[in-house]
Amino acid sequence: MGVVSVEEWTMDEPFNASSFDSHDIVFVNGGNTFYLLKKMRNAQFAQAVEAFVNRGGLYVGVSAGSIVAGPSIDVAACKTAGDSNNVGLVNLAALNLVNTAIYPHFRPEQQTEVNEFQATVAYPVVALKDGEALLVQNESIERV
């Protein structure tokens, strides 16, 4: 299996349920998590990617792209030097592709911060160092 083609989207145009029909992987990069989620909402990305994942498509998120896959992006603001909500988002509900918050770019000195955040939410929080990932398949979650 190899990569046949790569297509880039900017989230400036609306997505629909068939936007990813000819694709096997959707890769979402990082940046400001609040800005990314706002752009996703404006482009109806959540509905399109949910249909894509439900048909067996692979979602890959890096940094902010991994945070938005969880139930909420509130973890983005709690991080040391976290993202600024300079787009005024009030509703921080995310894509909810997984019921786990990702704390990317984790360093051991941030463990107290992760523990304090975990105490404020009802879902698991997984701190990932650079180079680490979560592999989610059905109900199975594995750190890789």
Q: Which residues are tagged catalytic?
A: 63, 83, 105
Q: Where are the domains of the chain?
A: 25-143
Average pLDDT over residues 1-5: 65
Percent of the chain predicted with pLDDT > 90: 68
Q: Could you report the per-residue pLDDT of 88-143, keeping only the tens digit for each?
A: 999 999 999 999 999 999 999 999 999 999 999 999 999 999 999 999 888 888 89
Q: Could you report the per-residue pLDDT of 23-35, keeping only the tens digit for each?
A: 889 999 999 999 9
- On average, the pLDDT of the chain sits at 91
* Continuous H helices in the chain: 33-42, 45-54, 64-67, 74-78, 111-118
Q: Work out the pLDDT band at 1, boundaries 50, 70, 90.
A: low
Of 53, 56, 104, 52, the closest CA to residue 80 belongs to 104
Q: Work out the pLDDT band at 3, boundaries 50, 70, 90.
A: low
Predicted TM-score (pTM) of the model is: 0.92
Residue 54 tokens read as: 């439900």
CATH superfamily of 25-143: Class I glutamine amidotransferase (GATase) domain (3.40.50.880)
Say what the pLDDT of residue 8 is: 83
Say what the pLDDT of residue 73 is: 97
